[in-house]
Amino acid sequence: MIRQGLGFSWGAAAVSNAMWTGVWLKDVLEYAGIKSHDDGARHVCILDADKLPNGYYGTSIRREVAMDPAADVLIAYKVNGEELTPDHGYPVRIIIPGYIGGRMVKWLTTIHVSSEESDNHYHFFDNRVLPPKVDAERALAEGWWYKPQYIINELNINSAVNCPQHAEVLPLSGPAASSTYTVSGYAYAGGGLAINRAEVSFDGGETWELCDQQCPEKPRHMGKYWCWTFWNYKVDTARLLTAKDIRCRAWQGQNTQPQL
Amino acid sequence: MIRQGLGFSWGAAAVSNAMWTGVWLKDVLEYAGIKSHDDGARHVCILDADKLPNGYYGTSIRREVAMDPAADVLIAYKVNGEELTPDHGYPVRIIIPGYIGGRMVKWLTTIHVSSEESDNHYHFFDNRVLPPKVDAERALAEGWWYKPQYIINELNINSAVNCPQHAEVLPLSGPAASSTYTVSGYAYAGGGLAINRAEVSFDGGETWELCDQQCPEKPRHMGKYWCWTFWNYKVDTARLLTAKDIRCRAWQGQNTQPQL
Model ipTM value: 0.80
- Among A100, A106, A260, which residue's Cα sits nearest to residue A188? A100
Best residue of B149, B155, B224, B229 to probe chain A, by most A CBs closer than 10 Å: B149
**A133 close to B (CB below 8 A):** yes
* Together in a domain, B75 and B168: no
Its pTM stands at 0.86
For residues B81 and B16, the answer to whether their CB atoms sit within 8 Å is no
Tell me which residue in B190, B222, B254 faces A156 most closely, judged by beta carbons.
B254
* Together in a domain, B184 and B62: no
* pLDDT recorded at residue B219: 87
**B142 close to A (CB below 8 A):** no
A91 within some domain: yes
**A88 close to B (CB below 8 A):** no
* pLDDT recorded at residue B2: 58
Question: Looking at B150, B167, B193, which one is the last position of a domain?
Answer: B150
Question: Looking at A90, A115, A150, which one is the last position of a domain?
Answer: A150
User: What's chain A's average pLDDT?
Assistant: 92
Inter-chain CB proximity B197 and A258 less than 8 Å: no
Show the 3-state SS of chain B: CCCCCCCCCCCCCCCCCCCEEEEEHHHHHHHCCCCCCCCCCCEEEEEEEEEECCEEEEEEEEHHHHHCCCCCCEEEEEECCEECCHHHCCCCEEECCCECHHHCCCCEEEEEEECCCCCCHHHHHCCECCCCCCCHHHHHHCCHHHCHHHECCECCCEEEEEECCCCCCCCCCCCCCCCEEEEEEEEECCCCCCCCEEEEECCCCCCCEECEEECCCCCCCCCCCCCCEEEEEEEEHHHHHHCCCCEEEEEECCEECCCC
Burial of A9 (0-12, 13-18, 19+ CB in 10 A): exposed
For residues B92 and B36, the answer to whether their CB atoms sit within 8 Å is no
A3 within some domain: no
pLDDT band at A199 (very low <50, low <70, confident <90, very high): very high
Can you give the CATH number for the domain in which A194 is found?
A: 2.60.40.650
B13 within some domain: no
Instruction: Give me the torsion for CA of B239, B232, B97, A62, rounded to 10°.
Output: 120
Per-residue pLDDT for chain B (260 aa), expressed as one digit of tens each? 556 667 777 776 677 899 999 999 999 999 999 999 999 999 999 999 999 999 999 999 999 999 998 899 999 999 999 999 999 999 999 999 999 999 999 999 999 999 999 999 999 999 988 887 788 899 999 999 999 888 999 999 999 999 999 999 998 888 889 999 999 999 999 989 999 899 999 999 988 999 999 998 888 888 899 999 999 999 999 999 989 899 999 999 889 987 75
Q: How many CA atoms lie within 13 A of A121 on its CB side?
A: 9
On chain A, the residues whose CB falls within 8 A of the CB of B157 are 255
- Give the domain range for residue B100: 20-150
How many angstroms separate the Cα of A234 from the Cα of each of A170, A188, A201, A240, B137?
14, 21, 12, 11, 25
* Together in a domain, B121 and B170: no
Q: Which of residues A14 and B129 earns the better pLDDT score? A: B129
Inter-chain CB proximity B129 and A253 less than 8 Å: no
Rounded to whole angstroms, the Cα distance separating A80 from A18 reads 6
Chain A and chain B share a number of CB contacts under 8 A equal to: 86
On chain A, the residues whose CB falls within 8 A of the CB of B258 are 256, 258-259
On chain A, the residues whose CB falls within 8 A of the CB of B155 are 253-254
**B1 close to A (CB below 8 A):** no
Question: Looking at B150, B178, B207, which one is the last position of a domain?
Answer: B150
Inter-chain CB proximity B152 and A254 less than 8 Å: yes
pLDDT at A130 over 90: no
* Together in a domain, A110 and A78: yes
Can you give the CATH number for the domain in which B87 is found?
A: 3.90.420.10
Domain count, chain B: 2
* Together in a domain, B193 and B138: no
User: Residue B220 CA to chain centroid, in angstroms?
Assistant: 17
